[in-house]
Chains A and B, each alone.
Chain A
Amino acid sequence: MAVIHFDGVQKTFGHKGNGFVALDRIDLKIADKEFIAIVGPSGCGKTTCLRMVAGFEFPTAGTVNVDGRQVTGPGPDRAVVFQQFALFPWKSVADNIALGLRNKGIGKTERGKRVADAVKLMGLEGYEAAYPHQLSGGMQQRVAIARAYVLEPDVLLMDEPFGALDAQTRTTMQEELVRITRRNPRTVLFITHAVEEAVYLADRVVIMTRRPGRIKEVIDIHSVREAEKWSEHERIEDVMDLESFIHWRTHIWRSLREEKSDQDQ
């Protein structure tokens, strides 16, 4: 069970006088096993939302609760996948994945088994002994996802995880993520500025305003996906060709563009 609840969250950075309000009046309830994507213009505070669930930052006002408990710091129940992977360069792929399990005090045999499972899940077989710098960006992000998934976290926090990848790798990773979360559902908070990615992956897409970040609109993609049977299409490009997909993608684009043009004035 993992319900995430943003209750009247405000976040101010800097000191009085020269500080600025990054997030304002964020109210959002994320259900267990729900996949939420947050989109918004640069600097709207979407990453800050994720970092507050992770426990890296704390609200200036309001609360962030996970399962009814206020977040007080980072922990393995809320695994993070970073945009720049954040793998330990001096640890092999297997050691990167195993660190969280070692911290939990899981024995060597059990650990080996679970690392092997995660390696298999992410298609990393044969790379266990490799070091991060020997891998491509896509492979590195697979390791980072494996490192998060192996902990069987209640919440998976993904901060523009595919932003640093080339377009093709990105598409593959998006399909993989759908495959994995379908087989192994988690509560996911996914930050992105790629609209297609959000519509393709998420149950609900949260659109944010420019700074100070507020929730502008929440779009229920899940019911559209069910009604229009998106899951019958295997490939991302087939889903993206569907009229319902195009409709909502364009809707979100327009909504975001309003925010961008505000900024230009």
Chain B
Amino acid sequence: MSTSSSPLRTSETIAYGAAGIVLFFGIWSGLSWFGIVPRQFLPTPYEVVAKAVQLLSTPFAGGTLQEHLLSSVLRFAYGFLLGAVIGIPLGLMMGWYRLLDEIVSPIFDALRFIAPIAWVPFAALWFGTGIGGPILIIFAGAFPPCLINAYRGARFVNRSLIEAAQMLGTGNTRIILEVLLPASLASIVAGLRVSAGIGWQSLIGAELIVASTGVGFMMVQAQLNISTPIVMSAMLAIGLVGLFIDIALRWLEATVRRRGLA
């Protein structure tokens, strides 16, 4: 076996990856086929996929799989965008205005260590099962990385670029928009990726508790019915959508890098 320092050929990478997947499904199938774990508690991969396909046309807990996914994705989008729309400008401004940094940083540093899920009681109290609850929880997860990365990006801008802008008579707003923002773009996009990951994970957690639609809600209902294939179908969908979101943001990151905007 080669060490991690020696590079693998593409064919080897694919082969090892495939071997891992085969092994994973092999063990999983084995566990349920041979009844090591009761089928009721661990369905086979085949059952899960069959269930997922069935859920595309047969509603469960008030909707088909794609309807639940859509409401999850929409909630995620609202919370995530809210986090970005508030976090990025605030982070950039904190990176420029010393006073704002001094005022916001202590509060922010304390709040960001509270897990998004910890907002569930307030989400329930303030919003019930309305859309506000999950959005609050996603926002709590997505907002900090947006702010931190914009802030760091702004703080680590090449000093002489700022001095050049100042000697050209550039005002604060224009420095933030035309110097700090473009200079921090790579850092901001990296922050968005982290944000999306945490946001998506928090959403599912939130839906387990404070929602009446969505993939998370679907999972809770399925668990109550001890319908493990549905639970796993939902997990499969969550994983795939998360992967898709990450791929989209990775593409954005690569585009920013390629344009040399960093």
Q: Are B160 and A82 in contact (CB under 8 A)?
A: yes
Q: Which residue on chain A has the smallest CB distance to residue B171? A: A103
Q: Restricting to B205-255, which residues have a CB under 8 Å from any CB of A?
A: none
A192 to B183, CA, bound (A): 29
Question: Which applies to chain B's interface (DSSP): helix, strand, loop or mixed?
Answer: helix
A103 to B260, CA, bound (A): 25
Contact A88 B260 (CB under 8 A): no
Q: Is B110 an interface residue (CB 8 A)?
A: no
Contact residues in A for B169 (Cβ distance below 8 Å): 75-76, 100, 103-104
Tell me, in angstroms, the Cα distance from A55 to B178 when the chains sit together: 22
Residues of chain A within 8 A (CB-CB) of B161 are 86, 88
**Interfacial chain B residues near A133, Cβ < 8 Å:** 260
Nearest CB in chain B: distance from A235 CB, A: 32
Complex alpha-carbon distance, A78 and B167, angstroms: 7
**Interface presence of A171 (CB below 8 A):** no
Q: Are B163 and A56 in contact (CB under 8 A)?
A: yes
In the assembled complex, the CB of A133 is this many whole angstroms from the nearest CB of chain B, namely 6
Report which of B160, B165, B167, B171 forms a contact with A84, defined as CB distance below 8 A.
B160
**B168 contacts A151, CB within 8 Å?**
yes
Q: Output the least CB separation between A188 and chain B (Å).
A: 15
Interface SS of A by simple majority: loop
Contact with A along B143-182 (1 / 0, CB 8 A): 0000000000000001011011111111100100011001
**CB <8 Å contact, B261 and A89:** yes
The size of the chain A interface, using a CB distance under 8 A, is 26
What's the Cα separation between A86 and B167 when bound, in Å?
12
**Chain A residues whose CB sits within 8 angstroms of the CB of B183 once the complex forms:** 90
**Cα-based distance from A46 to B183 in the complex (angstroms):** 29
Complex: A179 Cα to B140 Cα, angstroms: 61
- A90:B164 contact, CB within 8 angstroms: no
Say yes or no: B167 contacts A90, CB within 8 Å: no
1/0 per residue, CB under 8 A from B, across A62-106: the answer is 000000000001111011101010111111000000011001100
A158–chain B nearest beta-carbon distance, Å = 12
The distance in angstroms between the C-alpha atoms of A97 and B182, with both chains bound, is 17
Q: A147 — which chain B residues lie within 8 A by C-beta?
A: 168
Nearest Cβ on chain B to A47's Cβ, whole angstroms:
12
Q: A86-B161, A133-B260 are in contact. Are A76 and B178 (CB under 8 A)?
A: no
Which of chain A's residues have a CB closer than 8 A to the CB of B260?
Answer: 89, 131, 133
A99 to B164, CA, bound (A): 10
A54 within 8 A of partner (CB): yes
Question: Could you tell me the distance in whole angstroms from the C-beta of A118 to the nearest C-beta in chain B?
Answer: 13
Residues of B within 8 A of A84 (CB): 160
Interface contact B171-A74, CB-CB below 8 Å: no
A74 touches B160 (CB 8 A): no
Q: Are B164 and A82 in contact (CB under 8 A)?
A: yes
Tell whether, in the assembled complex, residue A80 and residue B163 are in contact, meaning their CB atoms are under 8 Å apart. Answer: yes
B167 & A99 in contact (Cβ 8 Å cutoff): no
**Are B170 and A80 within 8 A (Cβ)?**
no
Complex Cα distance, B159 from A86, in Å, reads 9
Chain B's closest residue to A102 (CB) is: B174
Chain B residues with Cβ below 8 Å from A76 are 167-169
A 26-80 contacts with B by CB, 8 A: 54-56, 73-76, 78-80
Tell me the minimal C-beta distance from A80 to chain B in angstroms. 5
- Residue contact B174 to A88, C-beta cutoff 8 Å: no
Which residues of A lie under 8 Å from residue B164 when comparing CB positions? 80, 82, 86-88
From A87, A103, A147, name the one whose CB has the most chain B CB atoms within 10 angstroms.
Answer: A103
* Interchain nearest-CB distance for B156 vs A (Å): 15
Complex formed: what's the CA distance from A174 to B167 in Å? 23
Given A131-B260, A133-B260: A80 touches B167 (CB 8 Å cut-off): yes
CA distance A79 to B161 in the complex (A): 13
Contact of A90 among B163, B168, B261 (CB under 8 A): B261
In contact, A100 and B158 (Cβ under 8 angstroms): no
Q: Give the one of B160, B166, B167, B183 with max A CB within 10 A.
A: B167
CB–CB B163/A99 < 8 A:
no
| CB-nearest residue of chain B to A157 | B167
Give B181 Cβ to nearest chain A Cβ, in Å: 9
Given the complex, which residues of A lie within 8 Å of B174, measured CB to CB? 103
Chosen A-B contacts, 25 in total, with CB atoms closer than 8 Å, are: A54-B167, A56-B163, A74-B166, A74-B167, A75-B167, A75-B169, A76-B168, A76-B169, A78-B167, A80-B164, A80-B167, A82-B164, A86-B158, A86-B160, A86-B164, A87-B164, A88-B161, A88-B165, A88-B178, A88-B182, A89-B260, A89-B261, A91-B178, A103-B170, A151-B168
Given contacts A56-B166, A76-B168, A82-B163, 4 further A-B contacts (CB under 8 A): A56-B163, A84-B160, A86-B160, A100-B168
**Chain A residues close to B by CB (< 8 Å):** 54-56, 73-76, 78-80, 82, 84, 86-91, 99-100, 103-104, 131, 133, 147, 151
A-B CB proximity, top 8 nearest: A100-B168, A76-B169, A86-B164, A103-B169, A74-B166, A86-B160, A90-B182, A74-B167
